[in-house]
Structure 1
Amino acid sequence: MTSPTSISRPVVAGIVTALVGVTSSFAVVLTGLRAVGATPAQAASGLLALCVLMGVAAIVLAVRYRMPITVAWSTPGAALLAATGTIEGGWPAAVGAFLVVAALILLTAVWPQLGRLIARIPPSIAQAMLAGVLLPLCLAPIGGLVANPWGVAPVIVTWLVFARFAPRWAVPLAFVAASIVVTVHLVSTGASVDPAVLVPRLEFTAPTFTFGALIGVALPLFLVTMASQNVPGVAIMRSYGYEVPWRPAMLVTGVGSALGATAGGHVINLAAISAALSAAPEAEPDPARRWIAAASSGVSGIVLGGLSAVLVALVVLAPEGVIPAVAGLALLAAFGSAVQQAIDDPGERMPAVVTFLVAASGVAILGVSAAFWALVAGLVVRTVLHLGRRPRS
């Protein structure tokens, strides 16, 4: 007979997984959605859709396969949107790009050749593109500290202290510090909040499809999601002894992404870093029962979706630099990992450096974002430098 204590342990682990995942990166998601044209209401709708759909997807996969398969939104993908900025066609074109990404994920499930084609992109170039996209966001705490030291310093100090003593909670507690800063700012300025804007609601947008959004947003977003979320997520699960069913996982997350696209959700995928919170022995000693933690994280994610409008209100009302600082701090670990993987192989270093610089430049040519041109530039440089060379064994 299963005791209440044995049940509570994985349930609590799942709640922690959802709390850490949402509070540590929601600012990045909102920054990305707002950058490509979403209004505060549309960004809140996107956050709500993502929370609910990734929660449902985690519950379905965990219960069906009895594995701690957790699902998350694409934080690197949101960072890509933030770096891309306004696109031709505005928010409806971004929604169209989200639908294309969902279709590509579904295609990956039913046509394995697409997955093999993605695998042929050198990891150094994919990670260099990601690092270039993340760089401007990671600089935000520095710029914010200069522009608004009294508002941003408490956020950075909180993050630094807990990065030393409780790394898992460093970013969530930095967000708590930011919330306190925002509250003090509201009280001191006498600003008020309309209670109606704090009610979560979905706002649907009819998609449009433009060349710039398809090439400059959908393709890089798909590649970043696959290379930085789905593939590492499978590897992390394998390290804990679980073989993720690839096709069902892509089908579930692809369908979820499609359902959430018109509501403003950019994409859901297999969790990568946060996957360990439910799959590790700390969540539950018995590997056969860790799926409870993943299911619990799904339920918790749905509940947290109810706070989507409140989170957006915090972002809108925050003083200068405070929320971008939280987003930048949340991305430091991902940036460091991407840089390390990009330059780890000396033979691939120069193409990776070119890819990184083009992505970080933010230049848009022919309405296509820098992320796409970074991939092109890196692959061209790599091809030229490798001409006539024998493949290494």
Structure 2
Amino acid sequence: MTHTPSLTDRIKAEARAAGFDAVGIARAEVGAREQARLDAFVAEGQYGEMGWMADTHERRRDPKTLWPEARSVIVCAMNYGPEHDPMADLQHSDRGVIAAYARNRDYHDLVKKRLKRVARWMHAELDCQVKVFVDTAPVMEKPLAARAGVGWQGKHSNLVSREHGSWLFLGEIFTTLELPTDAAETDHCGSCRRCLDICPTDAFPTAYTLDARRCLSYLTIEHKGPIPHEFRAPMGNRIYGCDDCLAVCPWNKFAETAREAAFIARDDLTLPKLSELAGLDDAAFRARFSGSPIKRTGRDRFTRNVLIALGNSGDAEALSAVTPLLDDASPLVRGAAVWAYLRLGGEPGDRPARESDPEVRAEWTGGSRSQKII
């Protein structure tokens, strides 16, 4: 007897043919527990400067507020598993560590392109309405992915998969179709708390709760001002994002290296030399990170991060890379340069008196000799 594929079988086959590694289907709704977590996150201001989290709060907590006609959500995931353990990179203090997801192409464009391919097929073949979303839209994608059976939200609040560990990009197709749903995935974290204990800045007030204001991913990417003093030493050589809580997850033992070429790390984005990165002007920064999500952060914020890492390097020779930036046009860069300069043993001389920006002057006066690490 010939097997006739079901509607969901056809959709999942099309998604896998488009390049997705995991697919699941859920109703267009999230649970009360997840809504309560979001409410608390917003009420306590844990989103920091990411004001859109508050602005889109109501739309984010209920998919039907975002699109009332939505009935089902097809959650599609792509594996970006790194080739080696990112934790090992933290030992190279003269090199910058970039989060695994950002070591090649910006995933947003690729994931959305693949989603649109599946959505066009659904619209044409199944006579339904569809909308596609990646994580720039106000969608609670991780709770939806858990309800769709793609994985579960671990104690680090990210999605964990039994097949792919913590290394998944997510995208969603909302549809007007009433589809059979997949069984929600069970939480398999148990008593493990490695992701909580490894965090260098104690960004998890409790399990399953993240305070973005303390998270190095937020601080190095979204935060626009100087890195708060208490987080500078814990940053180490992390210059864009932080993989620690993802990388220590025991479920990563089942993960495979990404098969999508655009997610395999570029050589120039794997442990680049901090001294070289410090010398990038705006044009060179844009050229170096063309096509990378790093480009959206901008040269000044990125250079701020590089300077903090140089200050943490403990290498007096790094002063030659730091010193020119004491006169940078950007106060954000100058302030970070002052911190790194003093931490590496540089002498202030008459520079504090010549500084016009009050925040940068404060960096000079706050840079006590006890900060030295060499």
Larger strand percent = 2
TM-score range relative to shorter protein = under 0.3
Instruction: Select the structure with the greater relative contact order (CA < 8 A; seq sep ≥ 6).
Output: 1
Larger helix percent = 1
